[in-house]
Amino acid sequence: MISFFVCLALLIGGFAVYGRVAEKSFGPDDRKPPALTMTDGSDYVPMGTARIFLIQLLNIAGLGPIFGALAGACWGPSVFLWITLGTLLGGGVHDYMVGMMSMRHKGASVSELAGTYLGSVMKQVMRVFSVVLLVLVGVTFSTGPANLLAMLTPQVLDAKFWLVVVLIYYFIATFVPIDKVIGKIYPIFGICLIIMALGVGGSILLGGYHIPEITLSNLHPNGTPIWPVMFISVACGAISGFHATQSPLMARCLTTEKDGRKVFYGAMVAEGIIALIWAAAGVAFYNGTGGLLTALGNGQSAVVYEICFTLLGPVGAVIAMIGVIACPISSADTAYRSARLTLADWFQYDQKPVKNRLILTIPLLGVGTVLTQIDVQIIWRYFSWSNQTLAMIALWAASVYLFRKKRLYWITALPATFMSAVSCTYILMADEGLRLSIAIAYPAGLIFAALCLGTFVFTCIMGKGKHADASSAEAPYVS
Q: For the ranges 19-33, 55-69, 73-87, 317-331, which has the lowest average pLDDT?
A: 317-331
Average confidence (pLDDT) over 324-337 = 84
Q: For the ranges 27-31, 111-115, 148-152, 442-446, which has the lowest average pLDDT?
A: 148-152
Query: How much is the pLDDT for 326?
Result: 76
Question: Residue 251: is its pLDDT beyond 80?
Answer: yes
Distance CA 53, CA 265 (A): 10
Question: Residue 479: is its pLDDT beyond 70?
Answer: no
pLDDT digits (tens, 9 = 90+) for 278-324: 999 999 999 999 999 999 998 887 898 899 889 988 877 777 777 77
Query: How much is the pLDDT for 464?
Result: 58
Query: How much is the pLDDT for 378?
Result: 65
Query: How much is the pLDDT for 319?
Result: 74
Q: How buried is 471 (Cβ within 10 angstroms: 0-12 exposed, 13-18 middle, 19+ buried)?
A: exposed
Mean pLDDT of the chain: 90
Between residues 59 and 360, which one has the greater pLDDT? 360
Question: Residue 455: is its pLDDT beyond 90?
Answer: yes
For residue 465, name the pLDDT band (cuts at 50, 70, 90): low
Q: For the ranges 158-162, 290-294, 312-316, 428-432, which has the lowest average pLDDT?
A: 312-316
Within a 13 Å sphere around the CA of 372, how many CA atoms are in the beta-carbon half?
A: 23
Question: Residue 202: is its pLDDT beyond 60?
Answer: yes
3-state secondary structure the chain: CHHHHHHHHHHHHHHHHHHHHHHHHHCCCCCCCHHHHCCCCCCCCCCCHHHHHHHHHHHHHCCHHHHHHHHHHHHCCHHHHHHHHHHHHHHHHHHHHHHHHHHHCCCCCHHHHHHHHHCHHHHHHHHHHHHHHHHHHHHHHHHHHHHHHHHHCCCCCCHHHHHHHHHHHHHHHHHCCCCCCHHHHHHHHHHHHHHHHHHHHHHHHHCCCCCCCCCCCCCCCCCCCCCCHHHHHHHHHCCCCHHHHHHHHHHCCCCCHHHHHHHHHHHHHHHHHHHHHHHHHHHHHCCCHHHHHHHHCCCHHHHHHHHHHHHHHHHHHHHHHHHHHHHHHHHHHHHHHHHHHHHHHHHCCCCCCHHHHHHHHHHHHHHHHHHCCCCHHHHHHHHHHHHHHHHHHHHHHHHHHHHHCCCCCHHHHHHHHHHHHHHHHHHHHCCCCCCCCHHHHHHHHHHHHHHHHHHHHHHHHHCHHHHCCHHHHHCCCCC
pLDDT digits (tens, 9 = 90+) for 382-399: 777 888 999 999 999 999
Query: How much is the pLDDT for 379?
Result: 67
**For the chain, domain boundaries:** 2-395
Query: How much is the pLDDT for 381?
Result: 65
Domain boundaries 2-395, corresponding CATH code = 1.20.1740.10
For residue 470, name the pLDDT band (cuts at 50, 70, 90): very low
Q: For the ranges 161-175, 250-264, 380-394, 444-458, which has the lowest average pLDDT?
A: 380-394
Question: Residue 468: is its pLDDT beyond 50?
Answer: no
Average confidence (pLDDT) over 356-361 = 94
Q: Is 0.85 surpassed by the pTM of this model?
A: yes
Between residues 141 and 47, which one has the greater pLDDT? 47
Query: How much is the pLDDT for 172?
Result: 92
Question: Residue 117: is its pLDDT beyond 90?
Answer: yes
For residue 162, name the pLDDT band (cuts at 50, 70, 90): very high
Give the rounded percent of residues in the chain with a pLDDT score beyond 90. 68
Question: Residue 452: is its pLDDT beyond 90?
Answer: yes
